[in-house]
Amino acid sequence: MFYNVYLKNLKDMRNNLIYWFVGLITLSFYLSFAYSSFAQNIGAFDELINSFPEELLHFLGASDGLDMSTFGGFLNLEIFGVIGPIMLVVVGINTGTNIVAGELNNKTLELVMSTPIGKNNYLFQQILVMITRIILISLFIWFSFNLFGRIFNLELDLKNFSATIVHLSLLGLFFGCLSLFIGSLTGNKSKTLGISTTIAIISHFTNSISPLINSVEKLKYISIFHYYKTSEPIINGIDISDGFITSALCIILIALSFFSYKYLDLN
Amino acid sequence: MSNIVQVSNLTKYYGKKLGIENVTFFMNEGEVYGLMGPNGAGKTTSLRAMLNLILPTSGEAIIFGKHFKELNKAELSQISYLPGEFEMYQNLTGEQYLNYISSLRSATVNNTNILAERLDLNLNSKIKTLSKGNKQKIGIIQAFMNNPKLAILDEPTSGLDPLKQQEFQNIVQEQNNLGCSVLLSSHILGEIEDLCERVGIIKNGNIVASEQISDLKNKTIKKYEITFENAPKISDFKNVENISKLELQGNTITLNIKGTIDILLKVISKFTVLNLRIIEPSLEEIFLTFYKE
C-alpha cells in the first residue's frame, strides 16, 4: 500500500471513509424512516413550508418552493439544501488544504519532495486522491439513500437523484481545487482554511440573497452555489452548462495550482 | 578527484530579507564536507536552495556535473536528504514510512533492517509513539538505507544520545568508505571535526571560509609557548606582526599569532630557546575567530 503517493493517501483515509460511511448510513436511515413515518400527512406539511417567506426558502436552498410530496423533494430540502453542501464543502476544503499547505504545516513535505517524485507528479497524485475521496463520499450518499429508500418503499427518481449527487460532487471538488490553489500559493494552512471558508460562506450568502434584491440580482452568477442547485437537478436532471462551468473552474484552479506550486518555497 | 557538488553564488532573498548571499563551495567525490554555523546563519537555507526545495534568487547548484533541475530520476534517487526540521506521518510505523520513502526513490537497495539494528530501533512502532531521538534515528536510516551517492544531512544528530551519536559517526564513515559523499550541516563542531576533511563556515548567510580543516588551523590564531634560557623583554617582540596576548612569566613567553611566524622566528633566534610549544587551535576556536571578526 505504500508504493506511491496515491496509494499511501488512500490507505491514510481508509478509517476516515469508514466513519463517513457509517455516519451517512445512520443519517439516511434516520431521514428515510422519518419521511416514511410522516409521508401520509405530507400535504399539510407541504402547505406549511410553502407558506414560508421567499427569503427563508432561499436560505433553505429551495428558491422554487418545496415539494415534500416526494422523497426526492424531501431530500432536496434536508440533504441537498444545507447539510449536503456543508459536508462536501468541508471535505473539499479539508482535502485541498492538506495537499500542500497541510503537509508543509506538518513538515512532512520537505523530505517527500527531496525524492525524485517531482512537484507535478506529487500534485497530480494528490489531486487524484482528492477526487477519489469526494467521489466516494458522494457515492456513499447515493448508495445509502437508495438503500433505505427501497427498504422503506420510498419513491426516488434515480436519474435526477444521481444528477443532484453529481452537482454536489462538483461543488465539493470546486472547493477542494480552490483550497489547493490557495495552499499552493501561500503554503500556509491557516490562511488557506480561512480564505477558503470565507469564500464558501460569502458565496453561499451571495447566492441566497442576491436574487431577492433586484439591483444585485446578477451577483448570483459569481457564486458557485448558483451552479450547484439553482437549476434544481433533483427535478430537471443534470444541467450541462452549470456542470460545465463548475468543471471548467476546477480545471482552471488545478492549472493555477500546478503553476503556483512550481514556484512555492517549501520551508 | 572530480567535484560531486559545485555551489556557485547561491543567493536567496525572502522579499527584502536576506536568507543567503553568494554561497559558494564545492565537494569532492567521496568527501565528507562540513557546513558550520550557528542557528540562523543560513545552513538550512543553503541546503534547501541546493535541492531546489526553495527557489534561489540567483546562483546555481551543480550536482553530479549537472544543474540540479537537469538531473534525471535515476540521479535524483542517488541523493538522500535529512531535513533539519524532520517530521513524519504520525499514523505510519517506522517500517511503513521507510518503505514509502524507498518507493518514492525507486530504490533497489534497502538496508533498513541492518541500520535499525545498529541504532537499536524498533521499526514496528507507530511514529506518533516514538521519542524525538528515535524519530531522528528513522531520519538517519532513510538517509542511508538506499546506499546513496550523495547524502545531505542537516543537523543529523539532533536529539540523539552520545552513544548513538558515536554510532552515527561510524555509519557515516562506513558509508563514506562505500563511496557515499556526505554534506553535513551542523553547529556541533566536534562532530564536524571528527568526520570532515574540509569545512565551510557560514556567517550571516555568507560562506566566510571553505577549506581543509588543517589549512584553516594554519591560517587562524595559534598559541605559542616559548621558554628561554634568559628572559627577553616584551619590547623585543614589538615588530612581530599579528601578535596578541603577549605575556611573560619568568623565562617563558606565551603569545598568539595569526598567520606567518617568520618574524617571530627571527626574533627568538637571537635568544637561546630551551623549549617551543605550539598549541593548535580547536575547530571551535577557529569558528569563534570567524564569528568575532
Q: pLDDT of A182-216, one tens digit each? A: 999 999 999 999 999 999 999 999 988 887 788 88
Let me know: does B74 contact B226? Beta carbons within 8 Å: no
DSSP H or E run through B243 = strand B243-249
Sign of the Cα torsion A235, A236, A242, A246 reads positive
Task: Tell me which residue of B107, B108, B168 sits closest to B133, measured CA to CA.
Answer: B168
Cβ of residue A3 closer than 8 Å to a chain B Cβ: yes
Annotation: CATH topology of B220-292: Alpha-Beta Plaits (3.30.70)
Residue A61 pLDDT > 70, yes or no?
Answer: no
The total number of residues shown for chain B amounts to 293
Strand partners, B54: none
Cβ of residue B79 closer than 8 Å to a chain A Cβ: yes
Calpha distance A181→A165 (Å, rounded):
24
What average pLDDT does the segment B6-22 reach? 94
Share of chain B above pLDDT 90, in %: 64
Nearest residue on chain B to A13, alpha-carbon basis: B91
Query: What local confidence, expressed as pLDDT, does residue B288 receive?
Result: 76
Do strands B17-28 and B3-14 pair parallel, antiparallel, or not at all (unpaired)? antiparallel
Q: pLDDT of A25-51, one tens digit each? A: 999 999 999 998 877 777 777 777 777
Calpha distance A130→A136 (Å, rounded):
10
Does some domain include residue A19?
Answer: yes
Res. B179 pLDDT band, cuts 50 70 90 = very high
| DSSP secondary structure letter of residue B127 | G
Give all strands (DSSP E) within A6-65, no chain letters.
Answer: none
Size of interface A-B (CB pairs under 8 A): 68
Q: pLDDT of A215-243, one tens digit each? A: 888 888 999 999 998 888 988 999 999 99
Share of chain A above pLDDT 90, in %: 71
Let me know: does B168 contact B195? Beta carbons within 8 Å: no
Separation in Å, CA B237 to CA B240, B247, B256:
5, 11, 12
Neighbours of B259 (CB within 10 A): 12
Residue A75 structural domain: 5-262
pTM of the model: 0.87
Does some domain include residue A267?
Answer: no
Query: What local confidence, expressed as pLDDT, does residue A47 receive?
Result: 75
Domains of chain A: total: 1
Does some domain include residue A175?
Answer: yes
Cβ of residue B85 closer than 8 Å to a chain A Cβ: yes
Let me know: does A203 contact A224? Beta carbons within 8 Å: yes
Cβ of residue A119 closer than 8 Å to a chain B Cβ: no
With CB atoms and an 8 Å threshold, state whether A267 touches B54. Answer: yes
Instruction: Please give the angle made by the CA atoms of A264, B154 and A260, to the nearest 5 degrees.
Output: 5
Does some domain include residue A195?
Answer: yes
Does some domain include residue A142?
Answer: yes
Residue ranges of the domains in chain B? 3-213, 220-292
Range B3-213 classified under CATH 3.40.190.10: no
Q: Specify the residue for cell string 511503513.
A: B96
Tell me the three state secondary structure of residue B59: strand
Within 84-113 of A, beta carbons closer than 8 Å to B belong to 106-108, 110-113
